[in-house]
Structure formats: structure tokens, C-alpha cells
Amino acid sequence: MAKGTILSIDAMGGDAAPDVPVEGAAVLLARRADITLLMHGDEALLAPLVDAQAALRGRCTIVHTDAVITSDMKPSQALRRGKGSSMWNAIEAVKNGEAGAAVSAGNTGALMAISMLILRKMEGVHRPAMTALWPTVRGRTVVLDVGANLEADAAQLVTFAIMGEAYARAALDIEKPSIGLLNIGSEEMKGHDEVREAHEWLRTATLDMDYRGFVEGDDISKGAVDVVVTDGFTGNVALKAGEGVARMLASRMREAFTANLRSKLGAALAMDGLKRLREQMDPSNVNGGVLLGLGGVSVKSHGGTDARGFAKACELAAALAESDYRDKIIANLLRVRESGLAAG
């Protein structure tokens, strides 16, 4: 295969695998001439799908395995029985230096567990954090943690801020991302002790970061800051609530614009604006969560995504593989340790 960025794909993970991962890979390679792929999965199933995609010819190597991590498999089961599976092999290729990043639309818990086992944690990171890219009125905002850790102490929240800032530089191409700490109010006396303690560290530490202080829940969709930091319980609830509101609004708009002839005429007149709104709200355009704090890049695609969404997750993986974001994380973690804040 040609030199350049190499991505390791779990072709058997996801609701519509292997069709969607293969189709998504073709969408990606049609846009990026500098990327080649390792496609892990059952060769008997993959070969005809790959051969049917002109963009994949000569740029995709199938790595055969007939073992698969199923969607109902618990993380503990995946660790015991998953060795040699398409997901396991995709991540192991990153560890072995065969690829710059791994992408899977498979079982989230299994992917997190296997990624942590194989890639290990970066020095200075006590607990990795899962990210999400949140659509806002200004573009996109990074939110973390969104489920990897139900609780987080002050030291972990500071670490999340450092990781999220470096991630936003790479994923969103922002030179100096702004950071906010999610709280129930902007006043300094509000919130749990660990949130207030993390705020003090971020406010006073000599870190090369644009920390803006506390932000509230409605500030996420406003795009008040580029990175929103919170614990995994709060982040996951906020993420699911936001997704639910988006689906409800989409449903209500369809009902409103198809209710009668007059509303249909109004929809026709507003078609350009409605198309732009649909594009902004389309989850395929913000697909890809990353488990930050590991010794390699592992990207989680939505299990039910389409080919375009899977390609977006792969583009994110490539951007991270090509960036120096982990070096920036290490540098700021070193500053934190030198200032006396130990990881919790």
C-alpha cells in the first residue's frame, strides 16, 4: 500500500456491518488520496464489498478474522473472549505501529475496555475520558467526559480540561480553544467541592490554556466555549437530553410543515433554510467519539450511522493521527504535576 496515514478499521462493528464500514471507507478514500486502510473482518464477506468500491482498490488491505465482538457482549466478556476479533485486531494494529488510529462502530463498552487494555493510559492520566462533538450556534463544541467515568474529582477534571483542549486543537482546528467547567451556575460559590477546586486550579495554574470559568447547561448549545468539561454521569445525561430534544424538534417540524397545503407551500419557500438546518442537525456530520488519555488513537463511531457518518469518524481519526495533540497533553500534564496537583 502507498505511504501516508494508515487507519485500522473494525469492519464487523456496527448495526449494518460490514456494509456501512466498507461504504464509509470508500467515501473517505474518494476524498483523501493520502490515506490507506487495514480492514479487519471476515474476508469472505469483505472481499466482494471492497472489490465493488473503486476508491478502495489498491488502498485497502483485508486482515482476516471470523471472530466478532457482539453488541450484547459485556466489557468483561470482551476482554476474556475478544482476543483475535476484528475490534481487538484493529486496536492492536495501532499499538504495533501498523496504523495511526483505529475506528469501530461496535460495542462501546467493549471498545473502551479493549482500548484501555491494549493501548494503556498516557503517563499522568488516571482515567481516560470519552468525548463528543456537540452542534452549536457557532459550530461545534467538544464535551467531555460523556460516559467513561461516572464521577470525577478535581484532579481528573483538570486532566479532562487539558485533554479536551488539545483534542479541540486537532479535531476542530482551533488555534487556542476556550474552556469552561460545567456547573449549575456561574457564581464561584456554586457547585460541588470538586468542581470548585478544579476551577481554582484551572484559574491559577500556569497552563497554556484559555480557561473561561464556569458555564451552564444552556451555554453548551450556545457555543459559549470550545470545550466543556464535566464528569461522565452529567455529560452523558446532557448528551442524551440534547439528542432527544433534537429528534423531538425534527419530528415537530416535519409535522408542522406537512400539516396542510399552506404549510407545505411555506416549506417549499423555506427549503434552502430547512436544508441548511437539517445539515447542521444531521448526526452524521458530528460522528465520532474519542477515548482521550490513551497511548494511541481509538475512535468510536455511532453504531447506527450511515456511510457518510462513518467516513466522518474516519476523518476525525486521521486528523488525530496526524496531529501532535498527545504531545500537548503531556506538556500540560507535566506542568500540573510540577505545580502540585496529583491525579486522583
| Helices of type H across the chain | 19-31, 43-51, 75-81, 86-95, 108-119, 154-172, 193-204, 217-222, 232-257, 261-269, 271-281, 307-321, 325-339
CB 39 within 8 A of CB 322: no
Mutual orientation of helices 193-204 and 154-172 as an angle, nearest 10°? Answer: 60
Assess if CATH 3.40.718.10 describes domain 1-119: yes
Shared fold status for 1-119 and 127-291+324-344: yes
Provide the residue-wise pLDDT of the chain in tens; the chain has 344 residues: 446 899 999 999 999 999 999 999 999 999 999 999 999 999 999 999 999 999 999 999 999 999 999 999 999 999 999 999 999 999 999 999 999 999 999 998 899 999 999 999 988 888 899 998 888 888 889 999 988 888 899 999 999 999 999 999 988 889 899 999 999 988 877 888 999 999 998 988 777 889 999 999 999 989 999 999 999 999 989 888 887 877 787 777 777 778 888 777 776 777 776 566 666 555 555 677 888 999 999 999 988 889 999 999 999 999 999 998 888 888 888 877 776 665 44
Could you state, in order of their start, the residue ranges of all structural domains in the chain? 1-119, 127-291+324-344
Fold topology of 127-291+324-344: Isopropylmalate Dehydrogenase (3.40.718)
Beta pairing partners, 179: 211, 227
Dihedral sign, CA of 112, 115, 116, 117?
Answer: positive
Gyration radius (Cα) of the chain, Å = 21
- Residues near 333 by Cβ (< 8 Å), separated by ≥ 6? 122, 123, 124, 125, 159, 162
Q: What's the whole-model pTM score?
A: 0.84
